[in-house]
Amino acid sequence: MQRIKYQAYIDKIQSPEKAALLIKNHHVLGVSGFTKAGDSKTVLPKVAERALHEELKLTVLSGASLGYDTDADLAKNGALYKRMPFQADPTLRKSINNHEVLYVDQHLGQTADMLQNIDTFKIDVAIIEALAITEEGYIIPTTSVGNSPIFAEMADKIIIEINGSFPKSLAGIHDIKLLKKQPNREIIPVLQSDTKIGDPYIKINPEKVVAIVFTEVPDSPAIISAPDEKTTAISGHILQFLDKEVAEGRLTESLLPLQAGIGKTANAILSGFKDSNFKNLTMYSEVLQDSTFELFDSGKLIFASASSITITESCAEKVFNDFDQYKDKLMLRPQNISNAAEVISRLGVIGINTAIEFDIYGNVNSTHISGTKMMNGIGGSGDFARNGYLSIFACPSISKEGKISHIVPMVSHTDHTEHDVDILVTEQGLADIRGLAPTERARLIIKNCVHPDYKDQLLDYFETAYALGGHTPHILQDTFSWHTQLKKHGTMKMNELASNHF
Amino acid sequence: MQRIKYQAYIDKIQSPEKAALLIKNHHVLGVSGFTKAGDSKTVLPKVAERALHEELKLTVLSGASLGYDTDADLAKNGALYKRMPFQADPTLRKSINNHEVLYVDQHLGQTADMLQNIDTFKIDVAIIEALAITEEGYIIPTTSVGNSPIFAEMADKIIIEINGSFPKSLAGIHDIKLLKKQPNREIIPVLQSDTKIGDPYIKINPEKVVAIVFTEVPDSPAIISAPDEKTTAISGHILQFLDKEVAEGRLTESLLPLQAGIGKTANAILSGFKDSNFKNLTMYSEVLQDSTFELFDSGKLIFASASSITITESCAEKVFNDFDQYKDKLMLRPQNISNAAEVISRLGVIGINTAIEFDIYGNVNSTHISGTKMMNGIGGSGDFARNGYLSIFACPSISKEGKISHIVPMVSHTDHTEHDVDILVTEQGLADIRGLAPTERARLIIKNCVHPDYKDQLLDYFETAYALGGHTPHILQDTFSWHTQLKKHGTMKMNELASNHF
Ligand SMILES: CC(C)(COP(=O)(O)OP(=O)(O)OC[C@H]1O[C@@H](n2cnc3c(N)ncnc32)[C@H](O)[C@@H]1OP(=O)(O)O)[C@@H](O)C(=O)NCCC(=O)NCCS
Ligand SMILES: CC(C)(COP(=O)(O)OP(=O)(O)OC[C@H]1O[C@@H](n2cnc3c(N)ncnc32)[C@H](O)[C@@H]1OP(=O)(O)O)[C@@H](O)C(=O)NCCC(=O)NCCS
C-alpha cells in the first residue's frame, strides 16, 4: 500500500481474478513485458485461465516476449487471436506455425509508430506492471519499459499490477518520453547513452485506471547456458577484429555504444569484453543480460541504456540486493527510443546479433527455420543492423552434429539484406564484407566462416553459379536444395547422401 | 572566368585532356553526379577515352548514376575495377553481370558513412562539377549535391569542372553540411522539408585543387515515357488510398512529405497528385523529376527538398530559363542528409518506389532480374522504405504480354523485407498490409494486386503451402519454379505450359 502515493487508486484495489474479468472477448490488450522482464504476473495469467472455460479471442500486444508460461498458456487455452510484436515461447510458436494464432513479427522500435498511424489496434485495456505509483497517479515501471507508455496513452482502460518484489531503489532508472505523431515529431535529443530526455515515470490519465492489483512474484529468471568452446571462439574473433579497428585508428578504445542481442551467443560475446583491452565501454541496447553486470563489476563498462533487464536468478539476487551500486549506471527507455533509428545512427551503435543462418552474399535469416517455421521473431535486430555503425551477425558454423550448416547458398527467409550486414562471424572466423561486391563476399565468407565439412560443397555451388553469370550468381532451381535435403534426408551434406545412397 | 571568384584557381585552369591525365591506374575516384544530374561532362569522359589505349583500372564512387554514356564508356573501355553505389546503364550493367566490373550496390544514404568508417576507399581524386567558385575557393554545385561534399573532404586532390550551361541563379538552392564521424555525430536539425542547416556551397581546402576545367555541356536529359493506362491506374489507387487516410483523420490534406523513386511509374504517380484534393504538399525526396515542377505549377506543391534535379529536355528549358520562380521552393542536400534515417523518420516521409517484383508475403525485389542479374541498384529506396511513415511499392501486375507476373511466390532477391513494406500496388489494386500476419497478407495481395491470369496459380501455390503449415507457408522446392519456367519456357504461366506440352 505504501507503494501507492495517489489516494484515488486505493478504491480500485482488487484481486487479479476480478481485474481479469475486465477483459472481454475480442479485446485488444497492450501489456507490459519485454523479454520476460516487467510483465504482468497475475492478471494476464488469470485471463489465460478464463479462456479454458469461455470464448476469448484476444489481440495481445506487448513490448517483447512474456515471462513464465503466460504466452504458452494464452496460446494453449486458445485465448489468442493475434499476437505481436515478438514472442519466444515453444508452445506459442507451435500455435503460430499451426495457424492457430496470427502473429505479426515486427521491428520492436516500430510498434509505437504503428499504433499512432493505423486504427486497426485500438487498445481496449493496458495491463502494466508498476514498481510504485507517484503522487500524480503516474506509473513507475519495474524492469522494463517496452511499449508501456504508448499502451497507457492509447488504451481506454488501464490495469496496474504493483510488484512488491523489486527494490524501491529501481525508481529513477527510467527515462520516459512519448513521441508526437508526425508532422509534429520532435528531435530525440539523446547524444550519448546516458542522456536523460524524459520523466522517471509513465504519465497517464488516472481516470483511465480501472483496477490495481498486487503481486510479489519476481520476473521469470533468464536461463543462459555458460559460454562454450564455440561461443568463446566467436567472441574471440570479434574482439580481435575490434582490436584491429582500434589499432588502425578507426575506433577508440571505448569503441562506440554496444548493442547485444538475446541468448547465449550474444551473452558470451559480451562476456568476452571483460578480458579485452577496451576501456570505458557503454551500451545502447535493448536488453541487459548477465554479461552487462559482469562488465560493470569488472570496471570495463561505465553506462548501459536499454529497454529491459533480463537476468538469471543468481544475477538478479546480486543485482537487486544491492541495486544502489548499479543505479547510476543504468537507464531504461521506451523501446521506440532504445531502438530509434535516429539515435542508433547518431550514436553509431555497434550491433551484435545472432543469426539462424546467413548466406554467401551476406543476407541474414533471424526468424524462420527452413523458410517457413517461425522461431522467435526479428526483435530489435533490424533496428540496430539497419542504422548502426557496424552490424555484426554471429552463429555457429554447424549444428546437430554437423547435419546443419548455418551458412547456406541462399537464406530461406531474409530479415537483414546484404545492404545491411557488415560482419559475419562463426567459431571458424570472421568476414568483414563492407565495401565488397557479392562475388568478393562469397569467397571471403566461404573462406573464413564456413565449417570445413561444408567448404567444398558451398564453393561448388558458388563456382557453378558463377559460371552462369550474374551480379549475384545463383542456381535458382538448387538454391534451397540444402534445406530440402535436410528435411528429406536429415542432413545438408550432399556427399554423405551420395555415399549413403549409392 | 567570371564564375571563379578565387584568384589562386586561375593558374589551375587547363584542358579536360590534361586534367584527365591526373588520374592514374588503380586510383579511387569520387565523382559528382546523381541520376544523370551534375556529373562530370568532360574530364571523366576523357578518362574513359584514355582507357582505350592504356591500362586503367579505377574504383569509381559517385552520388548515383552518371549521365550520357560515361558509365557505358568507362565499362566498355575496361576502365572500371569497381563501381559504387548506384548505376543505371545497360552497358555497365552487362559488364557487372559478366563479372568484368565489381559493383557494390549500396543504400545511397550510407556511402558517406562508409567512407568515414573504413579505409578501403581512400579517395585519390575527386572530380566535381561546379556552377561557380566563391571568394574562399568553395564549390557551388549545379543540379546535384550527392556525395560531393564527402568526396571533396576525403580526396587527396580535387578537379573542378565549371559548367557554364546552368543559370547562375541556381546558386543558393544548396544546403550543405558535413556530418562528423561518431561519437561526435551531431543532431541533423531538419524539422521540415525546408529547414536550412548548412552552407550554400561545399567548403573545401583550396590547396587540394589541382585542376579547373570549363564546359558548356548541359545535363543529359531524362527520358520519361508519358503516363499510360497502367501507371495512371496505379496512381489512382494510391490517391484513393491517401484520400481515405485523410477522410478518416489519419493524415491531413497536406499529407506528409513525399518521396518518389525514379522512372516512369514514380513520375506518373506523382503527376497524379495534380488532380488530387491535397493541398500544400511538400517533398523530402532524393530526385526531383518533371512531375515535381508540374506540381509546383499547379500550385499543389509548396516545397521540395532532394539531392538532385533530373528532368527532361523540355522541362529543363522551362525550368532553367526562368529559375527564379522555383528558386525559393527548392533545396538540394547531400544524399546522406536527403536520405538520413533520422530525418526521414522524424518527418514521417511517405516513400513511393518501384519494385521489380514482390511476393505474397510483402517482400520486395528492387534490383535483381530472376535473382541474379543486376538491373540498377537499390538506390535510396531502402533509406525511405525502412524509416518512413509509409512505405509504398508499385509495379505493373504483369509485363511482356503477360508472360511475367510481378507478384511471385517468393522474390528471387530481397531488398526490402516484409518488416519494411506497408503498401503494395499494381494497376489491379492496392493492398495495405500494415498490422497483418503473413497469411493475411498473402490473401489480400492475391485478391487486390495480382493479375487475373495469375490469381488461381498463385492461390494454388499459397493454399498448397498453407496446408504444409508454418508461419510463412512455402514449398521450398517450388518457390522459384515461376522464375525457372520463365527462363526455360518463356512464360511464368503454368497452364499455358501444360497445354503447350500435352
Ligand atoms: C536467431 C536466434 C533464434 C538464435 O538463438 P540461439 O539461442 O543462439 O539459437 P538456438 O540454438 O535457440 O536456435 C537455433 C536453432 O535453430 C536450429 N536451426 C538453424 N537452422 C536450421 C535449419 N536450417 N533447419 C533446422 N533447424 C535449424 C538450430 O539447430 C538450433 O536448434 P536447437 O535449438 O535445436 O539447437 C535468436 O537469437 C533470435 O531469436 N534472434 C532474433 C531476435 C533478435 O535478434 N533480437 C535481438 C535484439 S534483442
Ligand atoms: C525497379 C526498377 C528497375 C523499375 O523501373 P521501371 O522503369 O519501372 O521498370 P523497367 O520497365 O525499366 O524495368 C523492369 C524490367 O524488368 C523486367 N522484369 C521484371 N521481372 C522480371 C523477371 N522475373 N524476369 C525477367 N524480367 C523481369 C520487366 O519486364 C522490365 O523489363 P523491360 O524493361 O524489358 O520492360 C527501378 O525503379 C529501380 O531501379 N529501382 C531501384 C532504385 C530505386 O528504387 N530508387 C528509388 C530512389 S531514387
pLDDT tens across B471-487, in order? 999 999 999 999 999 99
Nearest CA-CA distance, residue B411 and chain A, Å:
10
**Where residue B495 falls among pLDDT bands split at 50, 70, 90?**
confident
Predicted pLDDT at A194 = 98
- Of A492, A485, A488, whose CA–CA distance to A402 is shortest? A492
Please write the tens of the pLDDT for every residue from A246-298.
999 999 999 999 999 987 888 899 999 999 999 999 999 999 999 999 999 99
3-state secondary structure (DSSP) of residue B132: strand
Instruction: Kindly write down the DSSP assignment for every residue of A362-421, as one continuous string.
Output: S-EESSEETTTEE-S--TTHHHHHHHSSEEEEE--SEETTTTEESEESS-SS-SB-GGG-
How many secondary structure helices (H) and strands (E) does chain A include?
18, 26
Is there a contact between A257 and A283 (Cβ–Cβ < 8 Å)? yes
Does residue B327 have a known ligand-binding role?
no
Nearest ligand 1 atom to the CA of A400 is 29
Q: Do B182 and A476 touch (CB under 8 A)?
A: no
How many secondary structure helices (H) and strands (E) does chain B include?
18, 26
Q: What are phi and psi of A405, to 5 degrees?
A: -100, 130
Is there a contact between A291 and A271 (Cβ–Cβ < 8 Å)? yes
B235 CA from centroid of ligand 1 (Å): 42
Predicted pLDDT at B502 = 40
Nearest CA-CA distance, residue B386 and chain A, Å:
8
Predicted pLDDT at B499 = 54
Cα separation, A332 vs A326, whole angstroms: 13
Grid cell at residue B354 = 518501384
Residues of chain B contacting A465 with CB distance shorter than 8 Å: 372
Is there a contact between A16 and A43 (Cβ–Cβ < 8 Å)? yes
Asked if the model's pLDDT at residue A479 lies above 80, the reply is: yes
Q: Do B476 and A469 touch (CB under 8 A)?
A: no
Is there a contact between B293 and B323 (Cβ–Cβ < 8 Å)? no
Predicted pLDDT at A16 = 98
Nearest ligand 2 atom to the CA of B261 is 46
* Length reported for chain B: 502
- Burial status of residue B401 (CB atoms within 10 A of its CB: 0-12, 13-18, 19 or more): exposed
Against a cut of 0.95, is the pTM above it? yes
Nearest ligand 2 atom to the CA of B492 is 23
Cα separation, A467 vs A30, whole angstroms: 53
How many CA atoms within 13 Å lie on the side-chain side of A331? 26
Is there a contact between B111 and B147 (Cβ–Cβ < 8 Å)? yes
β-pair type (B58-61, B80-84): parallel
Domains B7-215 and B229-489 share a fold: yes
Tell me the ligand closest to B369's alpha carbon. 2
Inter-axis angle of helices B481-489 and B494-501, to 10 degrees? 50
Predicted pLDDT at A501 = 43
Q: What are phi and psi of A336, to 5 degrees?
A: -80, -5
Please write the tens of the pLDDT for every residue from B232-278.
999 999 999 999 999 999 999 999 999 999 878 888 999 999 999 99
Please write the tens of the pLDDT for every residue from A461-474.
999 999 999 999 99
Asked if the model's pLDDT at residue B13 lies above 90, the reply is: yes
Average pLDDT of chain B? Answer: 96
Grid cell at residue B474 = 512455402
Predicted pLDDT at A329 = 98
Please write the tens of the pLDDT for every residue from A206-260.
999 999 999 999 999 999 888 899 999 999 999 999 999 999 999 999 999 999 9
Cα separation, B465 vs B478, whole angstroms: 10
| CATH fold of the domain at A7-215 | Glutaconate Coenzyme A-transferase (3.40.1080)
| Domain spans in chain B, listed from the N-terminal domain onward | 7-215, 229-489
B220 to A401, B39, B41, B88: CA distances (angstroms): 59, 9, 9, 13
B75 CA from centroid of ligand 1 (Å): 43
Cα separation, B207 vs B158, whole angstroms: 9
Residue among B341, B348, B483 minimizing CB distance to A341: B341
Q: DSSP letter at A130?
A: E
Chain A residue at shortest CA distance from B115: A435
Average pLDDT of chain A? Answer: 96
Asked if the model's pLDDT at residue B439 lies above 90, the reply is: yes
Is there a contact between B373 and B383 (Cβ–Cβ < 8 Å)? no
Cα separation, B294 vs B201, whole angstroms: 28
User: Which residues form the pocket of ligand 2, taking CB atoms under 6 Å from any ligand atom?
Assistant: B 261-265, 286-287, 353-357, 366, 369-370, 375-376, 378-381, 399-400, 404, 406, 483, 486
First to last CA, chain B: 75
- Residue range B101-124: mean pLDDT, rounded: 97
A353 lines ligand 1 (CB under 6 A): yes
Report the 3 state secondary structure along A114-129.
Answer: HHHHCCCCCCCEEEEE
**Where residue B226 falls among pLDDT bands split at 50, 70, 90?**
confident
Please write the tens of the pLDDT for every residue from A378-426.
999 999 999 999 999 999 999 999 999 999 999 999 999 999 999 999 9
B408 CA from centroid of ligand 2 (Å): 15
Catalytic residues of A: 286
Please write the tens of the pLDDT for every residue from A340-370.
999 999 999 999 999 999 999 999 999 999 9
B388 to A136, B228, B356, B358: CA distances (angstroms): 36, 28, 20, 19
- Residue range A72-95: mean pLDDT, rounded: 98
Asked if the model's pLDDT at residue A502 lies above 70, the reply is: no
Asked if the model's pLDDT at residue A498 lies above 70, the reply is: no
Is there a contact between A59 and A82 (Cβ–Cβ < 8 Å)? yes
Please write the tens of the pLDDT for every residue from A119-160.
999 999 999 999 999 999 999 999 999 999 999 999 999 999
Is there a contact between B354 and B378 (Cβ–Cβ < 8 Å)? no
Cα separation, A354 vs A345, whole angstroms: 20
**Where residue B501 falls among pLDDT bands split at 50, 70, 90?**
very low
Chain A residue at shortest CA distance from B102: A437
CATH 3.40.50.670 fits B229-489, yes or no: no
* Length reported for chain A: 502
Cα separation, B383 vs B336, whole angstroms: 10
**Where residue A1 falls among pLDDT bands split at 50, 70, 90?**
low
Cα separation, A305 vs A284, whole angstroms: 5
**Residue A195 Ramachandran class (φ > 0 left, ψ -120 to 50 alpha, else beta):** beta
Q: DSSP letter at B146?
A: B
Is there a contact between A17 and A48 (Cβ–Cβ < 8 Å)? no
- Residue range B70-90: mean pLDDT, rounded: 98
B264 to A125, B138, B350, B405: CA distances (angstroms): 47, 36, 18, 19
Predicted pLDDT at B1 = 65
Asked if the model's pLDDT at residue A7 lies above 90, the reply is: yes
